[in-house]
Amino acid sequence: MIIALSGMPGSGKSTVAKQLAEKLGWPRYYIGGLRREVARKKGMTLEEYNKLGEIDPTTDKEVDEMQKKLGQEKNNFIIEGRTSFYFIPHALKIFIDVEEKEGAKRIWNDLQQNNKRNEAKNIKSVEDVLKLNRKRIKSDKKRYQKYYGFDAYDKKYYDYVIDSTNLTAEEKFDKIYKIVKKELETHNTRHIT
């Protein structure tokens, strides 16, 4: 089984993906991390790279083709990306939601401890993160609509939607792990005939 995680900025996708990979002993692929690394190598922030992507489809298509290939060739992994549901349609698709101000606070707190996110220049407050998140979502929607004809933030594409706004990291993981465990049991039963 493949588990595709997506969600709003600051919803805790990366934390859950890491925890699931560790618990299941499966590899984890982080599409946002790949994009951040490419941006860094080009001397750009993620914000700048996303803006470039609005006119240059290669910024998205390279990682999207990689996702598609992974979904065709491998099994039993976690993939974290906003377009993963589309490129790996047979995956278990989970969207983690969060109220936008809470998401911005979480990212701000993360930036205070770990400034390797390569988000953007001159982030000095939660309000800056909130504005940045709004710009990022707008850019994502524009790019994915232009190149693929969908809105990756539309929850209708997902098997499960979890609102993490009022959940601790532990509660969020427990809730998602219960879903995964149930799906794994069902998935394995379907294949034993």
Residue 47 lies in a domain: yes
Q: By mean pLDDT, which of 10-24, 75-89, 111-125 is the weakest?
A: 111-125
Q: Tell me, what's the pLDDT at 117?
A: 55
- 162 and 94 Cβ atoms separated by less than 8 Å: yes
Q: Tell me, what's the pLDDT at 148?
A: 93
Name the average pLDDT for the chain: 88
Q: By mean pLDDT, which of 24-28, 84-88, 189-193 is the weakest?
A: 189-193
- Going by C-alpha positions, the residue among 83, 91, 87 that lies closest to residue 26 is 91
Take residue 120 and report the two structure tokens written for it: 């953007």
Residue 61 lies in a domain: yes
DSSP 74-131: --SEEEE-TTHHHHSTTSEEEEEE--HHHHHHHHHHHHHH---S---S---SHHHHHH
Instruction: Provide the domain limits for residue 127.
Output: 2-188
Strands, sheet with 92-97, edge to edge from the N-terminal-most edge strand: 28-30, 77-80, 2-7, 92-97, 160-163
Is residue 105 predicted with pLDDT exceeding 70?
A: yes
Q: Tell me, what's the pLDDT at 120?
A: 56
Residue 189: pLDDT band with limits 50, 70, 90: low
How far apart are the C-alpha atoms of 99 and 15, rounded to whole Å? Answer: 17
Which CATH number goes with the domain that contains 82?
Answer: 3.40.50.300
Between the alpha carbon of residue 92 and those of residues 81, 83, 98, 132, 159, the distances in Å are 13, 13, 20, 29, 7
pLDDT tens-digit profile of 135-171?
Answer: 989 999 998 999 999 999 999 999 999 999 999 999 9
The residues, ordered by sequence, that sit 6+ positions from 124 with a Cβ below 8 Å of its Cβ are: none
Residue 157 lies in a domain: yes
Domain count, the chain: 1
Residue 54 lies in a domain: yes
Q: Who has greater pLDDT, 188 or 70?
A: 70
Element (H, E) at 178: helix 169-190
Residue 193 lies in a domain: no
Is residue 70 predicted with pLDDT exceeding 80?
A: yes
Q: Tell me, what's the pLDDT at 95?
A: 97
Q: Who has greater pLDDT, 42 or 50?
A: 42
Q: Tell me, what's the pLDDT at 191?
A: 42
Q: By mean pLDDT, which of 20-29, 113-122, 128-137, 156-165 is the weakest?
A: 113-122
How far apart are the C-alpha atoms of 38 and 31, rounded to whole Å? Answer: 11
The residues, ordered by sequence, that sit 6+ positions from 156 with a Cβ below 8 Å of its Cβ are: none
